[in-house]
Amino acid sequence: MNDELEIVREFLKERLSIDPARIVSEAKLEELDIDSLMLLELFFELEEKLDVNLSQDLPTPKTIGQMIEIVRGLKNAPRAG
C-alpha cells in the first residue's frame, strides 16, 4: 500500500499538519479528526493521483488501512467516461 499511504500522508500533513508517522494502517480516522468531508477529499485526492474512479456508494472505512484497501481494490478498474 506504499503509493496510497504516501499520498494520504502527504495530504494530511499538508491539510491538517498531521505527523506522517501517525498515518499507519491501524490508525483510526476518527482519532485523526478525519470527518466525512475530509474523507471525501481524501478519496478525491487518491482518485486524482492514482487515476482511478471510485463508485458513488463506497463503504465508510474506520481506519487508514480500510480506506486504502477500498482504493486498492478499485485501482485497476476502468474510469467511467
Partner 1 sequence: MKRRVAITGVGLVSPFGGDREDFFAHMLAGESCVRHYTTDDKPRPLSMPAVRCDRFDADAVLGKALSSTMDRYAQLGFAAAREAWGDAGFNATDRSEKNDCGVSWGTALGGTLAYERGYRDLWQNGRERVSPLSVVLGMNNAASAHMAIQFGLGNSCLSYTVACSSASAAIGEAYRRIAAGDAEMMLTGGSDDPLCYGVARAWEALRVIAPGDADNSVRACRPFSADRAGLVLGEGAAALVLEEWEHAVKRGATILAELAGYGATSDHSHLVKPDVRGQVRAIEMALADASLAPGDIDYVNAHGTATAEGDPAEIAALRHVFGAAAAGLPVSGTKSMHGHMMGATGAVEAVITVMALQQDALPPTAHVETIDPACTGVRHILGGALRGTGARVALSNSFAFGGSNAVLAIRNDRLPA
Q: Which residues of the shown chain bind partner 1 in the complex (CB under 8 A)?
A: 14-17, 33, 37, 40-41, 43-44, 47
Q: How far is the CB of 43 from partner 1 (least distance, A)?
A: 8
Under 8 Å between Cβ of 20 and 9: yes
Residue number with CB closer to partner 1 (21 or 37):
37
Residue number with CB closer to partner 1 (13 or 75):
13
Q: How far is CA 9 from the centre of its chain?
A: 9
Nearest to 61 by CA among 14, 19, 28, 18: 28
Q: How far is the CB of 15 from partner 1 (least distance, A)?
A: 6
Strand partners, 63: 28
